[in-house]
C-alpha cells in the first residue's frame, strides 16, 4: 500500500528524477510539472487502501480494455485509449508519456466520489477525449477542459516510479472538473518511428535540401534569363522577346510609331461623310514605358524569370490619350460636318402663299466621339490595334419652326391675308392695295418658341404704293430752279396733302385677317412738306454758266424733229448736289408717242434708218459741256466710227436699253442744264447749244493724244433696194485726257480715256464688179 501511495504522490526528489530522466519533449515536461502537485494533494484518495472504491492491482498480463475494476463507474466524457500494441516494454527504452502496461488512468468523479477506468494493458494514450453526445477517433496531444478548477494529469514515464509497483499508477483529478490530456505512446525500439528530436532533425535536413535545390535552380534560371523579357513576346507584331526592357523601349520608339500613327477614318454616324485623322495629331499616342512594363519577364522575380525562359505572347500597346487634344480634333470635324436645321417658312409671291418645309440638322456628339475613339485606339473596341475606321455618334438638331408651325401660320394668317385687296380710306377718298403689292412688303418671321409672326415693311409699302396713294389728297412739289430769259429762277415749293404713312403699314396689317368690307385701313390726311424748300433752293448757288458746248448738224427733217425733241426734254434739268443725270431716263424711249421719228443710225459700222436717229447729236453736245464743267463722268460711249463734226475722243452716243449717258453733280452747288436749239430747216445747218449753270467750282484742263494705229476701210457692195451709199474713212486710236482741280488747288481728277474708232467702210450700191 505504501508503494502505491509513493507512486501517486511520491517525494519531490523522485518526481524530479523522473522528470529529468524521462521527459524528453516539451509536452512531456509540461505534463510532468503539472502532475506533481495535484498528485500529492490526493495521496490517500488515490491509493488502493483509501476511498470508497479501490481498484484491484493490475495483472501481469494485459487486461482487456473493456475490463474495469469491480464496482467502478464510467467517467463522463472519457474515451477509451486505443491499444498501442501488446508486448511493449514499459520499463526499458520507452518514451516518456507512454503508459506502462497495467497502469490505470484515473479520472475525476462527482463530488465526494472517485471512479476510475482501467485502460487495457499496452494501450497507447492517444490524447483522445469524449464529451457528452460526441464520439470519434482520438487525436494526439488533444486536450479538453470544462471550466472550474484546473486538474493536472501525470502520465507515468518510463518504468515504474520509484517506490511503487511496475503497474497501477493513477492520474488524479479534482471534483467538478474534467481535463484530459492524451499523450502519444512512445513506440518501442523494435521498428518504431524515431523519437521527436530525431524526427525534427530529419525534417530540417529535408527542408534545407529543398531550399538548396531551389536556390540553385533560381541561380541557373537567372543566369539563363537575366532581366530579359519573355522569349516569345511581341508588341503590335514587333518582336521584343529576349530583350532587356531598355532595348525593347528603344526598338519600340523607333518602330511602333509607324503602326500607332496609321490614319483613322472617322465616319459621321450612319452617313457617307468621313474625315481622316492622324492619331498623333489628335492626341492619340502609345505609352511605351507602360507597354514594356506589361511584357512578361524583365525582372529578377522568379515568376518573371520563368516567363522570360518559357513564356511570351502578343502584348497590346498601352494607349496614352490626350483627351483635350482629341476633343479639339473632333470639334474641328464638327465645324465641317454639322448641318444646321432648316426652319419651316411662309412667304408670298405674286399674291400667292408659298411655303418651305423644315428639315432636321445634325451635330457631332463631341464627347461621345472622344469616348469611342479613345476606346478603339489599341483597345477592345478596336480589336487591340489602330482601327481603320471608327463610327462616331451624332445628335439630331430639330428646327425651331416645325411643319406644325408652318401649317398653323398658313391657315390662321397667310391664306386670309392673300384672300383679297385692302382698301385704304382717307375721308371721302379711297384706293385699293392688291395682294400682289402687299405680298411684296409682307413677311413672316419666327420667334423663340417657333411660331411665325407677320410683319409688314411700312416704308417699302409707301414707296411701292406711291402712285395709288397719290390719288388721295394733293401732291406737294419741291422747289426747283429754271432758266428763264437767260437767267436762273427759283420756282417755289408747294406743300401737299397726303396719307399719313407712319401708321399705314400697321393699319394694313390689321386688315389682312378681316373679311369683306372690314378689310380696310382708315388713315388720316396730313400736310406733306416739300423735300426741297424754296429757301434751300435759293442757297444752292445756281448763278452762272460754268461750261457750254455747241454742235452743228446738216439739214435733215428727222434731225430737226429728234434733236429738237430730245433738247426740249433735257432743258432745265435740275441737279441738286449728289444727283445723277441719265439721258435715257430723262428723254425716255425714242418712240412716235414720245415725239420722235425715224432717222439714220450706225448699226455694225453701217448707216441705217431707225427710230430716234440723230439723238446722239444731243448726247455728244450735253456730254462735252458736262465734261468741260468737271462733273463726274459715270458712263459714256463714244461713237464706233468717227464723225468730224464731233470733238474727237470726247463725244458720246446713246442707244435705248444698251448705252446711256450719265454724269453726276459732285459739286456743293446746284446744276441746271439749259439747251438752246436752232433747227436746220431753211438754213445751211442746225445748231444745238448746251449750257451748264452753277457756281464755278472746278478748274478743268482737257486734251487728246495724236491719232495712232490706223486701220483702212473696205468696200461693201449692196444690191438691196434700200441701199444708202457711204464714203469710207480710216479707223484709229486716240486717248482723251482731263484734269480737274478744286478751288483750293487740289487735283481731284486725272483721267485718261483711250478709245479706238473703227474704219467707216465704203458702201457701193450695186453688184461687186469682181463677181462677173
Name which of 493, 488, 484 is nearest 534 in CA terms.
493
**pLDDT (0 to 100) of residue 200:** 72
Average pLDDT over residues 235-262: 90
pLDDT-derived band at 104 (thresholds 50, 70, 90) equals very low
Name which of 426, 534, 507 is nearest 474 in CA terms.
426
Indicate the residue among 502, 537, 572 that finishes a domain.
Answer: 537
The enclosing H or E element of 276 equals: strand 274-277
Same domain, 385 and 421: no
Report if residue 302 sits inside a domain.
yes
Same domain, 432 and 389: no
Is residue 607 within 8 A of residue 598, CB to CB? The reply is: no
**pLDDT (0 to 100) of residue 514:** 95
SS3 state at 345: strand
Per DSSP, the residues of 196-207 read HHHHHHHHHHHH
**pLDDT (0 to 100) of residue 650:** 96
- Mean pLDDT over all residues of the chain? 78
Q: What is the pLDDT of residues 511-541, one digit of tens each?
A: 999 999 999 999 998 888 899 999 999 999 9
pLDDT-derived band at 227 (thresholds 50, 70, 90) equals low
Indicate the residue among 537, 555, 582 that finishes a domain.
Answer: 537
Is pLDDT at 36 greater than 80 in this prediction? no
**pLDDT (0 to 100) of residue 722:** 79
**pLDDT (0 to 100) of residue 213:** 59
**pLDDT (0 to 100) of residue 678:** 97
Diameter of the chain measured on Cα atoms: 195
Helices H, strands E: what count in the chain? Answer: 20, 40
Report if residue 466 sits inside a domain.
yes
| CA distance linking residue 294 with residue 316, whole number of Å | 9
- Going through 476-594 in order, the beta strands assigned E by DSSP cover 480-484, 487-491, 496-499, 520-522, 525-528, 544-553, 573-575, 580-582
Average pLDDT over residues 51-74: 38
**pLDDT (0 to 100) of residue 380:** 73
Q: Which residues contact 206 (CB under 8 A, 6 or more apart)?
A: none
Give the C-alpha distances (Å, rounded to integers) separating 44 from 93, 99, 139, 540: 31, 22, 32, 159
Q: How many Cα neighbours within 13 Å face the side chain of 684?
A: 0
**Residue tagged 537567372 (cell numbers):** 222
**pLDDT (0 to 100) of residue 559:** 95
Is pLDDT at 222 greater than 70 in this prediction? no
Average pLDDT over residues 4-24: 39
**pLDDT (0 to 100) of residue 160:** 43
**pLDDT (0 to 100) of residue 229:** 83
**pLDDT (0 to 100) of residue 371:** 94
Number of domains the chain contains = 4
- Following CA atoms 395, 399, 403, 409 in sequence, which dihedral angle do they give, to the nearest 10 degrees? 160
Same domain, 554 and 582: yes
Lowest model confidence (mean pLDDT) among 7-21, 326-340, 344-358, 747-761: 7-21
Is pLDDT at 263 greater than 50 in this prediction? yes
Same domain, 490 and 557: no
**pLDDT (0 to 100) of residue 377:** 92
Lowest model confidence (mean pLDDT) among 315-329, 661-675, 716-730: 716-730
Same domain, 736 and 605: yes
Report if residue 103 sits inside a domain.
yes
Average pLDDT over residues 468-482: 90
Report if residue 216 sits inside a domain.
no
Per DSSP, the residues of 49-97 read TSSSSPPPPPPSSPPPTT---TTPPPPTT--PPPB--TT--SSSSPPTT
Average pLDDT over residues 341-369: 96
Average pLDDT over residues 81-109: 40
**pLDDT (0 to 100) of residue 70:** 38
**pLDDT (0 to 100) of residue 207:** 81
Report if residue 213 sits inside a domain.
no
Same domain, 496 and 549: no
298's grid cell: 524583365
Same domain, 512 and 549: no
Q: Which residues contact 247 (CB under 8 A, 6 or more apart)?
A: 240
**pLDDT (0 to 100) of residue 208:** 73
Give the C-alpha distances (Å, rounded to integers) separating 110 from 76, 116, 176, 659, 760: 9, 11, 6, 146, 161
More confident position, 176 or 692: 692
| CA distance linking residue 654 with residue 581, whole number of Å | 14
**Distance between start and end Cα atoms, the chain:** 187
Report if residue 724 sits inside a domain.
yes
The enclosing H or E element of 416 equals: helix 415-417
Q: What is the pLDDT of residues 193-202, one digit of tens each?
A: 556 666 677 7
Is pLDDT at 236 greater than 90 in this prediction? no
Lowest model confidence (mean pLDDT) among 6-10, 206-210, 497-501, 734-738: 6-10
pLDDT-derived band at 268 (thresholds 50, 70, 90) equals very high
123's grid cell: 494501450
Q: How far is CA 147 from the centre of its chain?
A: 77
**pLDDT (0 to 100) of residue 215:** 58
Handedness of CA 304, 310, 312, 313 (dihedral sign): negative
Name which of 510, 529, 513, 533 is nearest 521 in CA terms.
510
Lowest model confidence (mean pLDDT) among 363-372, 378-387, 687-696: 378-387
Average pLDDT over residues 350-360: 95
**pLDDT (0 to 100) of residue 233:** 87
CB atoms within 10 A of CB 403: 12
Is residue 666 within 8 A of residue 632, CB to CB? The reply is: yes
| CA distance linking residue 384 with residue 316, whole number of Å | 6
Same domain, 188 and 273: no
CATH of the domain at 256: 3.10.20
Q: What is the pLDDT of residues 590-612, one digit of tens each?
A: 999 999 999 877 766 666 778 88
**pLDDT (0 to 100) of residue 727:** 84
**pLDDT (0 to 100) of residue 605:** 62
CB atoms within 10 A of CB 568: 14
**pLDDT (0 to 100) of residue 313:** 77
Radius of gyration of the chain (CA): 66
Which range marks the domain in which residue 336 is found?
226-342+360-395
Handedness of CA 559, 560, 562, 563 (dihedral sign): positive
Report if residue 215 sits inside a domain.
no
Q: Which residues contact 85 (CB under 8 A, 6 or more apart)?
A: 122, 124, 188
Same domain, 415 and 332: no
**pLDDT (0 to 100) of residue 193:** 53
Q: How far is CA 214 from the centre of its chain?
A: 59
Q: Which residues contact 65 (CB under 8 A, 6 or more apart)?
A: 80, 81, 83, 119, 120, 123
| CA distance linking residue 280 with residue 257, whole number of Å | 9
| CA distance linking residue 720 with residue 768, whole number of Å | 13
Q: What is the pLDDT of residues 16-28, one digit of tens each?
A: 333 333 444 433 4
Q: What is the pLDDT of residues 683-729, one digit of tens each?
A: 999 999 999 999 999 999 999 999 999 999 999 998 988 788 888 89
Indicate the residue among 508, 537, 566 that finishes a domain.
Answer: 537
Average pLDDT over residues 728-757: 97
pLDDT-derived band at 508 (thresholds 50, 70, 90) equals very high
Winning range, highest mean pLDDT, from 46-60, 151-165, 586-600, 716-730: 586-600
**pLDDT (0 to 100) of residue 302:** 58
Same domain, 44 and 176: yes
Same domain, 551 and 635: yes
Give the C-alpha distances (Å, rounded to integers) separating 685 from 474, 555, 680: 46, 5, 5
- Going through 372-462 in order, the beta strands assigned E by DSSP cover 389-392, 394-397, 422-426, 429-433, 442-446, 452-456
Per DSSP, the residues of 516-531 read GGG-EEE--EEEE--S
Same domain, 189 and 326: no
Report if residue 52 sits inside a domain.
yes
Is residue 675 within 8 A of residue 704, CB to CB? The reply is: no
Amino acid at each position: 500500500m505504501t508503494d502505491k501511495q509513493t507512486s501517486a504522490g511520491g517525494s519531490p526528489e523522485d518526481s524530479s528524477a523522473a522528470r529529468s530522466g524521462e521527459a524528453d519533449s516539451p509536452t512531456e515536461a509540461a505534463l510532468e510539472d503539472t502532475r506533481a502537485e495535484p498528485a500529492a494533494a490526493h495521496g490517500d484518495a488515490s491509493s488502493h487502501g483509501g476511498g470508497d472504491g479501490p481498484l484491484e492491482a493490475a495483472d501481469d498480463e494485459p487486461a482487456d480494455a473493456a475490463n474495469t475494476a469491480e464496482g467502478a463507474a464510467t467517467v463522463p466524457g472519457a474515451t477509451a485509449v486505443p491499444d498501442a500494441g501488446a508486448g511493449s516494454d514499459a520499463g526499458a527504452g520507452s518514451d516518456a508519456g507512454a503508459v506502462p502496461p497495467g497502469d490505470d488512468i484515473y479520472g475525476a468523479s462527482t463530488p465526494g466520489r472517485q471512479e476510475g477506468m482501467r485502460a487495457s494493458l499496452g494501450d497507447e494514450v492517444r490524447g483522445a477525449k469524449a464529451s457528452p453526445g460526441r464520439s470519434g477517433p482520438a487525436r494526439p496531444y488533444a486536450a479538453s477542459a470544462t471550466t472550474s478548477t484546473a486538474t493536472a494529469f501525470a502520465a507515468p514515464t518510463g518504468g515504474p516510479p520509484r517506490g511503487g509497483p511496475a503497474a497501477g499508477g493513477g492520474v488524479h483529478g479534482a471534483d467538478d472538473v474534467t481535463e484530459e490530456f492524451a499523450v502519444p505512446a512512445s513506440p518501442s525500439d523494435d521498428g518504431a518511428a524515431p523519437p521527436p528530436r530525431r524526427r525534427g532533425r530529419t525534417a530540417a535536413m529535408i527542408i534545407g535540401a529543398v531550399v538548396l535545390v531551389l536556390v540553385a535552380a533560381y541561380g541557373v534560371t537567372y543566369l539563363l534569363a537575366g532581366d530579359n523579357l519573355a522569349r516569345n513576346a511581341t508588341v503590335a507584331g514587333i518582336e521584343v522577346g529576349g530583350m532587356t526592357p531598355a532595348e525593347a523601349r528603344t526598338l519600340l520608339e523607333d518602330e511602333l510609331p509607324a503602326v500607332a500613327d496609321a490614319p483613322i477614318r472617322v465616319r459621321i454616324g450612319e452617313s457617307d461623310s468621313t474625315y481622316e485623322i492622324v492619331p498623333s495629331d489628335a492626341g492619340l499616342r502609345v505609352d511605351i514605358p507602360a507597354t514594356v512594363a506589361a511584357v512578361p519577364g524583365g525582372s529578377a522575380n522568379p515568376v518573371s524569370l520563368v516567363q522570360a525562359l518559357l513564356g511570351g505572347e502578343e502584348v497590346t500597346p498601352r494607349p496614352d490619350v490626350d483627351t483635350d487634344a482629341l476633343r479639339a480634333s473632333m470639334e474641328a470635324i464638327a465645324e465641317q460636318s454639322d448641318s444646321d436645321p432648316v426652319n419651316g417658312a411662309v412667304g408670298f409671291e405674286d399674291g400667292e402663299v408659298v411655303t418651305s418645309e423644315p428639315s432636321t440638322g445634325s451635330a457631332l456628339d463631341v464627347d461621345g466621339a472622344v469616348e469611342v475613339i479613345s476606346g478603339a485606339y489599341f483597345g477592345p473596341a478596336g480589336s487591340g490595334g489602330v482601327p481603320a475606321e471608327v463610327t462616331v455618334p451624332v445628335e439630331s438638331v430639330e428646327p425651331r419652326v416645325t411643319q406644325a408651325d408652318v401649317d398653323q401660320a398658313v391657315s390662321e394668317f397667310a391664306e386670309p391675308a392673300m384672300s383679297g385687296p385692302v382698301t385704304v380710306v382717307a375721308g371721302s377718298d379711297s384706293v385699293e392695295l392688291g395682294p400682289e403689292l402687299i405680298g411684296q412688303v409682307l413677311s413672316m418671321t419666327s420667334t423663340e418658341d417657333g411660331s411665325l409672326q407677320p410683319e409688314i415693311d411700312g416704308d417699302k409699302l409707301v414707296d411701292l404704293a406711291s402712285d395709288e396713294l397719290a390719288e388721295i389728297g394733293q401732291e406737294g412739289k419741291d422747289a426747283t430752279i429754271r432758266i428763264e430769259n437767260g437767267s436762273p429762277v427759283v420756282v417755289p415749293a408747294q406743300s401737299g396733302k397726303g396719307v399719313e404713312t407712319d401708321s399705314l403699314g400697321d393699319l394694313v396689317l390689321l386688315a389682312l385677317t378681316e373679311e369683306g368690307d372690314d378689310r380696310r385701313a382708315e388713315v388720316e390726311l396730313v400736310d406733306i412738306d416739300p423735300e426741297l424748300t424754296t429757301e434751300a433752293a435759293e442757297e444752292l448757288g445756281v448763278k452762272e454758266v460754268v461750261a457750254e458746248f455747241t454742235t452743228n448738224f446738216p439739214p435733215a427733217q428727222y434731225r430737226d424733229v429728234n434733236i429738237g425733241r430730245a433738247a426740249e426734254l433735257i432743258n432745265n434739268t435740275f441737279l441738286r448736289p449728289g444727283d445723277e443725270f441719265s439721258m435715257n431716263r430723262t428723254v425716255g424711249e425714242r418712240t412716235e408717242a414720245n415725239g420722235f421719228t425715224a432717222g439714220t443710225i450706225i448699226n455694225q459700222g453701217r448707216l441705217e434708218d431707225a427710230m430716234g436717229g440723230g439723238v446722239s447729236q444731243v448726247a455728244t453736245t450735253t456730254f462735252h459741256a458736262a465734261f468741260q464743267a468737271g462733273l463726274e463722268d459715270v458712263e459714256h460711249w463714244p461713237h464706233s466710227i468717227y464723225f468730224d463734226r464731233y470733238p474727237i475722243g470726247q463725244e458720246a452716243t446713246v442707244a435705248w436699253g444698251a448705252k446711256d449717258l450719265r454724269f453726276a453733280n459732285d459739286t456743293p452747288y446746284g446744276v441746271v442744264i439749259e439747251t438752246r436749239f436752232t433747227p436746220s430747216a431753211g438754213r445751211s445747218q442746225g445748231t444745238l447749244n448746251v449750257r451748264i449753270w452753277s457756281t464755278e467750282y472746278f478748274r478743268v484742263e482737257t486734251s487728246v493724244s495724236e491719232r495712232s494705229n490706223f486701220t483702212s476701210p473696205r468696200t461693201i457692195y449692196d444690191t438691196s433696194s434700200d441701199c444708202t451709199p457711204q464714203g469710207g474713212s480710216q479707223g484709229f486710236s486716240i486717248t482723251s485726257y482731263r484734269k480737274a482741280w478744286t478751288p483750293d488747288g487740289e487735283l481731284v481728277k486725272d483721267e485718261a480715256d483711250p478709245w479706238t474708232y473703227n474704219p467707216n467702210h465704203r458702201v457701193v450700191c450695186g453688184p461687186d464688179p469682181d463677181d462677173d
